[in-house]
A = this chain, B = another copy of it.
Amino acid sequence: MRKTSSTNTINKKQLEANCGIAYTNSVLSGRWKLSILAFLLDEKKLRYSELRNRLIGISERMLIAKLKELQADDLINRISYPEVPPRVEYELSEKGLSLKNILRQMADWGTKNATNIRTF
């Protein structure tokens, strides 16, 4: 019988699970993305400036950068109206919406477990 702890015993399923989680992580990680997605989940559609107002402390540079990354990963849609002054709205894409349960559970878990001094 093979030692269950041997390197060879790392099975396919496990590696795939880890692979999957690594992708999810790569798409969600960082200081802002989860919050952006959470706000969009709650409010369906938000203008750039509305997002900026909600994400307290974010710089424009970061907000734009993260919105672009989320678009590139197809988690959000950008809707631009040809007006002056410009109006741009963001919403979750279908793929982004499929994160709903995960986002909600992360919010719940955090609320339940935040043992911290500071309030986020």
Contacts and interface: CB of A to CB of B under 8 A. Distances in A.
A70 to B, nearest CB: 13
A108 B38 CA distance: 20
Contacts of A81: none
A46 B18 CA distance: 15
Given A38-B17, A120-B22, A10 B54 contact: yes
A5 interface: yes
A29 interface: yes
Contacts of A59: none
A84 interface: no
Interface of A: 5, 7, 10, 14, 16-27, 29-31, 34-35, 38-39, 42-43, 46-47, 50, 53-54, 74, 95, 98-99, 101-116, 119-120
Q: Which 10 A-B pairs have the closest CB atoms?
A: A20-B110, A20-B111, A22-B120, A24-B110, A23-B110, A23-B114, A20-B107, A17-B107, A19-B120, A24-B106
Given A20-B106, A20-B111, A23-B113, 19 more contacts: A5-B47, A10-B54, A16-B107, A17-B42, A18-B54, A19-B111, A19-B114, A20-B107, A20-B108, A20-B112, A21-B34, A21-B38, A21-B103, A23-B116, A26-B120, A29-B29, A29-B30, A102-B102, A102-B106
